[in-house]
Structure 1
Amino acid sequence: MRPRRDAGPAVVHRLAEAGDGLGTVFLVHPGALAAGVHRTLAEALPPGTGLTVLDLSGHPAYWEAALTGGRADTTVEELADRIGDELDALDGGGPRTLAGWSFGGVVAQALVERMPAGRRPDRLVLLDSIAPTPEYQQPDDALEPPLLLGWFAMYLGAKRGRPVDVDPQLLAGGGTEDGLRHVLAAAAAGGALPADTAPAGLRKLYDTYVDGLLRNNRLTAPYTARPSSVPLVLVTAERSLLPGDRTLGWGPLAPHGLEVHRSPGDHYTMLSRPDAAAVIARLVRPAAPARLAPATKV
Structure 2
Amino acid sequence: MGRELLAAEPAFAAAVERLEPVLREQAGVSLLGATEPDADLTSLTAVMPALFGLQVALAELWRSYGAEPSAVIGHSLGEIAAAVTAGALDAPTGARIVAFRSRLLTTVRGGTMAVVDLPPPDLGRMTEDLPTLHVAVYASPEQCVVTGSAQEVGALVARVTAEGGFARTMPVPVAGHSPDVDPLLDAFAWELGAVPYGDPVCRRYSTVLDDPLDEAPYDTAYWLANLRRPVRFEQAVRAAARDGHRVFVEVAPHPTQAHPLARTLEAAGADEALVVPTLRRGTDDATSFRTALATLLVHGARVPSARETLHPDGRITDVPPPRWQHRRYWAGEVVLPLPAPESRPAAATRLDRLRMLVARVMGFAPDRLDPDVPLTDLGLDSLTAVRIRTAVLGEFGSAPELGVLLRQGTLRGVAGLLDDAPAPSPAPPLAHPGEPVHGTPGVLRSFPGTGPHAPLFLAHAAGGSSDVYGHLAARLDGHRPVYGFDRLEHPDDVPARAAEFARRIRQIRPEGPWTLGGWSYGGVVAQETARLLSRAGEVTALVLVDSILPLPAPPVATPAEEARRRFAGFAAYVHTVYGVELELPYVELGAMDDTAQVDLVLALLEKAVDLPPAVLAHQRSSYLDLRSAERHSPGPYPGRTLLYRATRPAPHTVRDARYERTDATLGWDAHCPDLTVTDLPAHHLALLDPPAVDTLAADLARALDPSGLPPTTAPMEP
- TM-score, normalising length from structure 2? 0.29
Distance 1:270 1:239 in 2: 12
Aligned length: 233
| Contact kept? 2:545, 2:645, Cα under 8 Å | yes
SS at structure 1 position matched to 2:578: helix
1:263 aligned to 666, 680, 689, which one?
680
2:450 matches 1:40: no
Distance 1:46 1:177 in 2: 40
1:212 is matched with: 621
SS at structure 1 position matched to 2:490: helix
2:483 matches 1:52: yes
Higher relative contact order, chain-length normalized (CA < 8 Å, sep 6+): 1
2:181 matches 1:181: no
In structure 2, do the counterparts of structure 1 residues 199 and 53 end up closer, same or farther at CA, with 3 Å as the change threshold?
A: same
CA root-mean-square deviation: 3.6
2:649 aligned to 221, 232, 239, which one?
239
Counterpart code for 1:12: L
In structure 2, do the counterparts of structure 1 residues 89 and 219 end up closer, same or farther at CA, with 3 Å as the change threshold?
A: same
1:14 aligned to 421, 434, 446, which one?
446
Counterpart code for 1:43: A
In structure 2, do the counterparts of structure 1 residues 26 and 204 end up closer, same or farther at CA, with 3 Å as the change threshold?
A: same
Distance 1:251 1:15 in 2: 31
2:661 matches 1:229: no
2:44 is matched with: none
2:598 matches 1:200: no
Distance 2:633 2:688 in 1: 28
Query: How far 1:27 moved relative to its partner?
Result: 0.8
Identity of aligned residues (%): 22
Query: How far 1:107 moved relative to its partner?
Result: 0.9
| Contact kept? 1:263, 1:276, Cα under 8 Å | no
Counterpart code for 1:3: T
Query: How far 1:141 moved relative to its partner?
Result: 4.2
The list of structure 1 runs, each at least 4 consecutive aligned residues, that deviate by more than 6 angstroms after superposition, is: none
Q: Which has the higher strand share?
A: 1
2:600 matches 1:142: no
1:168 is matched with: none
| Contact kept? 1:106, 1:132, Cα under 8 Å | no
Distance 1:44 1:16 in 2: 11
Distance 1:126 1:99 in 2: 6
Distance 2:676 2:479 in 1: 26
SS at structure 2 position matched to 1:108: helix
Query: How far 1:178 moved relative to its partner?
Result: 2.5
- TM-score, normalising length from structure 1? 0.64
1:121-142 residue CA offsets vs partner (Å, 9 max, x unmatched)? 1321101112267469x96643
Query: How far 1:181 moved relative to its partner?
Result: 2.0
2:461 is matched with: 30
1:3 aligned to 262, 270, 283, which one?
283
Distance 1:249 1:235 in 2: 13
2:695 matches 1:278: yes
Distance 2:564 2:524 in 1: 21
User: Which runs of 5 or more residues in structure 1 are unaligned?
Assistant: 63-73, 149-173, 184-197, 289-298
In structure 2, do the counterparts of structure 1 residues 41 and 140 end up closer, same or farther at CA, with 3 Å as the change threshold?
A: farther
Query: How far 1:199 moved relative to its partner?
Result: 7.1
Mapping for residues 108-147 of structure 1, pairs under 5 Å = 108-117=526-535, 119-131=537-549, 134=552, 141-146=564-569
Distance 1:219 1:107 in 2: 10
Distance 1:252 1:179 in 2: 36
Query: How far 1:109 moved relative to its partner?
Result: 0.7
In structure 2, do the counterparts of structure 1 residues 279 and 176 end up closer, same or farther at CA, with 3 Å as the change threshold?
A: closer
Counterpart code for 1:142: R
